[in-house]
């Protein structure tokens, strides 16, 4: 099995003539219809920054003129360092390109692996958008020249939707405006509709920056909880739903947005909210990133600041039975914990469990009382060694800084991930023993508290998000990784195991759905899993706003009429 289907005929650096009619295929770098140097110069003269020439992040280790290799080695696993580079993805597999014959083109950090440094999946040229006019020029340029356009924000995407071989890159990273408004009335609403204390975030703002701004204004904003906060606050995270440890109390990202500004395929700026362009606003909340246009800013509501209490448990196990017993106890507690406002993350495998849960609604003494049976069980069962803790935190910022402000072991490695939502009844009335047993059959799993509670109180038809989110209680996921430099045969062996793990979590709740932002290229039925009963309506809106499919992403709305490289119609 190969990452990309056998349809790409261009070769980087060669000006080969495509035999396909242009209207069926996008122009990619190297094809005859690729814009000339003077076309690019004309574009450069209209935008605020010089054109970008992205390079894979390990390039300085092959060519010292490109940068400092020691620095590359030091920062390799830092998500913020990666997001600062137009040519880097968070997970290195998206920087590489696999040919139909299985040859992988890459630029590995391990120079001793004996491979040259090559461009792979990294776009050759693009723009560093800073202004609305920059975005509009880039959209018009890509449309007029029939380019394969890639929008990249932070490069966190797990489906590789923010890179693309031979594509034209629109990088939103430097659109960093953050505006705080004491009072905000959505465009087109009557004056009586006002919200206090809102943030308008530019497309490139990342969660660590938004949290810092929220701290300064003494408000709480609902965002992602990645290490170092490097996930984007206004890009793909939001478009896909946006989950958070805060979601059981405050809803998902899509439940906290009031207005979005977006440049659509015709180059116009559209302001979408509940009062105007409602169809686009609906689609932008769950219909996925890179599909509707280029979002230039997002306005979020905020919440009053609040203290939190947290429960933490880390377990190492030499006895799989004990691991299972403990996981069963967590499963039995789930419903009551979500009712008490707990959100957060449980992850594990047969030999390890980790739990981080936070609630704004309880005192630390209540937390201690709630969790002590679980902690005692972890301390007393055979083969387990555990550490536990409960803490009071004055605010979210403190928690974030203590727990998440670290580099991420998985960033800077190849990663594939897949997720599955477990409906409330499966968790509450299902068999906890069976659920635990199945989860422990995977290589490693996540059992996260990022849904249920407030997420379930929002009308499933009010956003484009897959309705299965609204009656889900738990979010499960499985992950796989492999060694840099592994060949396609070796990767495929890892992938077969991963696909087995995907089947296990999907089997826990057949007919439920996956989170499109934490999903794989091997989804069994992505239209249904990602979008559920909203698929047809999303497709209608796609056809209205982007009839020529300028904005295409893997496993995105409207992508199924295209080959696996999203270059030619099939
Ligand atoms: C380490 C890590 C931690 C994560 N933690 C969380 C988490 O806590 N919660 C959660 O819900 N998810 C999490 N995710 C998943 C995350 O939501 C997705 O990776 C998401 O796609 C990231 O969006 P981005 O804009 O930051 O990244 P990018 O990869 O740059 O973009 C993702 C997609 O959105 C599109 N896009 C980006 N900006 C725009 C724009 N302005 N207009 C239109 N399209 C745009 C891109 O084209 C691409 O299709 C995590 C991922 C990683 C790798
Ligand atoms: C390269 O980076 C390393 C680590 O950040 C630093 O110590 C060193 O001084 C840098 N070298 C040069 C030539 O800038
Ligand atoms: C695989 O295909 C690529 C692109 O056509 C080519 O450059 C490479 O040499 C091929 N590799 C093998 C082992 O045939
Ligand atoms: C960012 O804010 C500045 C100052 O308010 C403003 O001049 C500029 O137009 C904004 N940029 C964007 C892209 O909105
Ligand atoms: C785990 O439980 C199974 C089934 O009850 C039993 O056969 C096995 O010996 C137990 N393993 C350990 C390590 O206790
Ligand atoms: C938790 O507290 C917040 C803020 O006081 C409140 O809005 C929310 O409804 C509470 N959640 C639960 C589950 O009780
Ligand atoms: C919380 O528990 C501690 C230790 O058990 C106790 O000293 C303290 O009084 C309790 N606080 C409240 C508010 O009940
Ligand atoms: C964990 O919890 C148990 C039971 O509540 C307690 O006895 C133990 O001291 C706690 N702390 C650690 C570090 O295990
Ligand atoms: C994270 O740590 C860095 C230094 O290590 C610090 O500059 C930054 O302010 C911290 N960020 C957050 C969100 O706490
Ligand atoms: C992949 O690597 C393995 C281990 O080095 C080797 O046995 C195998 O022949 C390689 N396969 C290909 C297709 O290169």
> Is residue 213 within 8 Å of 178, Cβ to Cβ?
yes
Which residue shows structure tokens 């006019």? Answer: 133
Ligand 8 pocket (Cβ < 6 Å) reads 372, 375-376, 379, 386-388
Task: Kindly report the protein residue whose alpha carbon is nearest to atom 5 of ligand 2.
Answer: 71
Q: Is the pLDDT of residue 31 over 90?
A: yes
Per-residue HEC secondary structure of 309-347 comes to EEEEEEEEECCHHHHHHHHHHHHHHHHHHHHCCCEEEEE
Measured torsion, CA atoms of residues 290, 295, 299, 302, in degrees rounded to the nearest 10: 30
User: What pLDDT digit, counting tens, does each position of 399-439 carry?
Assistant: 999 888 876 668 999 999 999 999 999 999 999 999 999 99
Task: Give pLDDT, residue 356.
Answer: 97
The 178-184 sheet, strands edge to edge: 178-184, 195-202, 294-300, 257-263, 269-273
Task: Give pLDDT, residue 228.
Answer: 87
N- to C-terminal Cα separation, the chain = 20
Distance CA 530, CA 239 (A): 12
DSSP state of 517: T
Q: Is the pLDDT of residue 234 over 80?
A: yes
Closest ligand 8 atom number to CA of residue 386: 14
Instruction: Please state the rounded mean pLDDT for residues 250-269.
Output: 98
Which residue shows structure tokens 């409330």? Answer: 424
Q: Is the pLDDT of residue 441 over 50?
A: yes
Q: Is the pLDDT of residue 504 over 50?
A: yes
Distance CA 325, CA 320 (A): 9
User: What pLDDT digit, counting tens, does each position of 123-146 carry?
Assistant: 999 999 999 999 999 999 999 999
If we measure between CA atoms, which residue out of 538, 532, 410, 413 comes closest to residue 477? 410
Task: Give pLDDT, residue 23.
Answer: 67
Q: Is the pLDDT of residue 4 over 70?
A: no
Task: Give pLDDT, residue 224.
Answer: 95
The model carries a pTM of 0.94
Distance CA 465, CA 462 (A): 9
Q: Is the pLDDT of residue 5 over 70?
A: no
Task: Give pLDDT, residue 21.
Answer: 43
Ligand 6 pocket (Cβ < 6 Å) reads 249, 341, 360-361, 453
11 band by pLDDT with thresholds 50, 70 and 90: very low
Distance CA 427, CA 420 (A): 13
Helix, strand, or coil here: 70?
A: helix
Q: Please tell me if the CB atom of residue 111 comes closer than 6 angstroms to any atom of ligand 9.
A: no
Catalogue all structural domains in the chain, each as residue range(s) with its CATH number: 7-171 (3.30.43.10), 178-304 (3.30.465.10), 308-531 (3.40.462.20)
454: CA distance to ligand 6 center in Å?
A: 9
H helix intervals, 105-200:
132-144
Measured torsion, CA atoms of residues 201, 203, 207, 210, in degrees rounded to the nearest 10: -20
If we measure between CA atoms, which residue out of 492, 340, 511 comes closest to residue 416? 492
Which residue shows structure tokens 């089947």? Answer: 503
DSSP states of 24-47 as a string?
Answer: GB-B-TTBTTSPPHHHHHHHHHHS
If we measure between CA atoms, which residue out of 3, 2, 52 comes closest to residue 160? 3
Percentage of residues of the chain with pLDDT beyond 90: 93
Q: What is the CA radius of gyration of the chain?
A: 23
Q: Please tell me if the CB atom of residue 225 comes closer than 6 angstroms to any atom of ligand 9.
A: no
In total, the chain counts a number of residues equal to 570
The 149-152 sheet, strands edge to edge: 125-128, 168-171, 149-152
If we measure between CA atoms, which residue out of 425, 422, 250, 426 comes closest to residue 342? 250
User: What pLDDT digit, counting tens, does each position of 369-400 carry?
Assistant: 999 999 999 999 999 999 999 999 999 999 99
Query: Which of 83-92, 394-403, 519-528, 534-543 is predicted with the least confidence, judged by mean pLDDT?
Result: 394-403
191 band by pLDDT with thresholds 50, 70 and 90: confident
Closest ligand 10 atom number to CA of residue 487: 1
Task: Give pLDDT, residue 252.
Answer: 98
Largest interatomic CA distance in the chain: 73
CA distances for 431 relative to 51, 108, 445, angstroms: 57, 45, 18
Task: Give pLDDT, residue 8.
Answer: 31
Ligand nearest to the CA of 360: 6
Closest ligand 6 atom number to CA of residue 454: 13
Best of 3, 5, 103 to mutate for ligand 3, by most ligand atoms within 8 A of CB? 103
Task: Give pLDDT, residue 17.
Answer: 36
Query: Which of 15-19, 132-136, 197-201, 284-288 is predicted with the least confidence, judged by mean pLDDT?
Result: 15-19
User: What pLDDT digit, counting tens, does each position of 301-360 carry?
Assistant: 999 999 999 999 999 999 999 999 999 999 999 999 999 999 999 999 999 999 999 999
**Helices 488-507 and 432-439, packing angle to 10 deg:** 180
Helix, strand, or coil here: 416?
A: strand
The larger pLDDT score, comparing residue 7 to residue 160, is at: 160
> Is residue 288 within 8 Å of 516, Cβ to Cβ?
yes
Instruction: Calculate the average pLDDT of the chain.
Output: 94
Strand partners, 354: 314, 347
Q: Is the pLDDT of residue 103 over 50?
A: yes
Instruction: Please state the rounded mean pLDDT for residues 510-524.
Output: 96
Task: Kindly report the protein residue whose alpha carbon is nearest to atom 3 of ligand 4.
Answer: 177
Distance CA 257, CA 253 (A): 7
Helix, strand, or coil here: 410?
A: coil
Task: Give pLDDT, residue 19.
Answer: 41
Ligand nearest to the CA of 489: 10
Helix, strand, or coil here: 207?
A: helix
């Amino acid at each position: 099995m190969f990452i990309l289907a056998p349809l790409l005929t261009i070769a980087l650096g060669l000006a080969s003539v495509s035999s396909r009619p242009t209207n069926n295929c996008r122009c990619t770098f190297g094809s005859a219809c690729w814009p000339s140097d003077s076309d690019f110069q004309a574009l450069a003269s209209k935008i605020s920054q010089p054109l970008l020439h992205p390079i894979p992040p390990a390039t300085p280790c092959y060519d010292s003129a490109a940068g400092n290799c020691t620095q590359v080695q030091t920062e390799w696993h830092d998500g913020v360092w990666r997001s600062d580079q137009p040519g880097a993805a968070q997970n290195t597999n998206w920087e590489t390109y696999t040919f139909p014959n299985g040859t992988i083109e890459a630029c590995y950090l391990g120079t001793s692996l004996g491979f040259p440094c090559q461009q792979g999946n990294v776009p050759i040229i693009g723009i560093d958008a800073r202004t609305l006019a920059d975005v509009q020029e880039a959209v018009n340029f890509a449309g007029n020249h029939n380019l394969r356009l890639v929008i990249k924000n932070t490069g966190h995407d797990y489906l590789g939707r923010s890179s693309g071989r031979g594509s034209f890159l629109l990088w939103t990273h430097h659109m960093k405006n953050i505006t705080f408004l004491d009072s905000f009335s959505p465009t087109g609403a009557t004056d009586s509709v006002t919200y206090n204390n809102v943030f308008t975030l530019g497309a490139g703002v990342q969660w660590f920056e938004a949290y810092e701004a929220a701290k300064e204004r003494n408000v709480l904003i609902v965002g992602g909880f990645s290490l170092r906060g490097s996930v984007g606050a206004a890009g793909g995270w939001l478009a896909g739903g946006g989950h958070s440890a805060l979601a059981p109390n405050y809803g998902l990202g899509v439940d906290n947005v009031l207005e979005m500004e977006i440049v659509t395929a015709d180059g116009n700026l559209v302001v979408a909210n509940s009062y105007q362009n409602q169809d686009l606003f609906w689609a932008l909340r769950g219909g996925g990133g890179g599909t509707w246009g280029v979002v230039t800013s997002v306005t979020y509501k905020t919440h009053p600041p609040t203290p939190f209490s947290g429960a933490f448990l880390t377990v190492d196990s030499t006895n799989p039975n004990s691991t299972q017993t403990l996981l069963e106890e967590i499963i039995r507690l789930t419903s009551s914990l979500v009712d008490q406002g707990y959100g957060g993350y449980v992850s594990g495998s047969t030999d390890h469990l980790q739990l981080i849960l936070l609630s704004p609604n309880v005192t630390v003494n209540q937390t201690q009382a709630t969790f002590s049976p679980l902690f005692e069980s972890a301390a007393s069962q055979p083969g387990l060694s555990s550490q536990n803790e409960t803490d009071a935190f004055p605010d979210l910022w403190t928690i974030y800084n203590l727990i998440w402000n670290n580099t991420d072991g998985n960033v800077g490695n190849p990663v594939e991930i897949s997720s599955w939502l477990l409906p409330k009844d499966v968790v509450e009335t299902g068999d906890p023993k069976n659920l635990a047993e199945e989860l422990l059959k995977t290589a490693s799993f996540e059992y996260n508290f990022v849904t249920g509670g407030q997420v379930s109180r929002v009308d499933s038809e009010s956003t484009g998000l897959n309705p299965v989110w609204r009656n889900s209680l738990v979010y499960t996921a499985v992950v796989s990784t492999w060694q840099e430099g592994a060949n396609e045969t070796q990767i495929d062996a890892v992938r077969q195991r991963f696909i087995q793990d995907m089947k296990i979590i999907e089997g826990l709740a057949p007919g439920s759905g996956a989170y499109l932002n934490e999903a794989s290229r091997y989804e069994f039925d992505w239209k249904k899993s990602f979008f559920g009963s909203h698929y047809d309506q999303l497709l209608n809106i796609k056809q209205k706003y982007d009839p020529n499919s300028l904005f295409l992403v893997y496993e995105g709305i409207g992508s199924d009429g295209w080959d696996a490289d999203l270059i030619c119609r099939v």
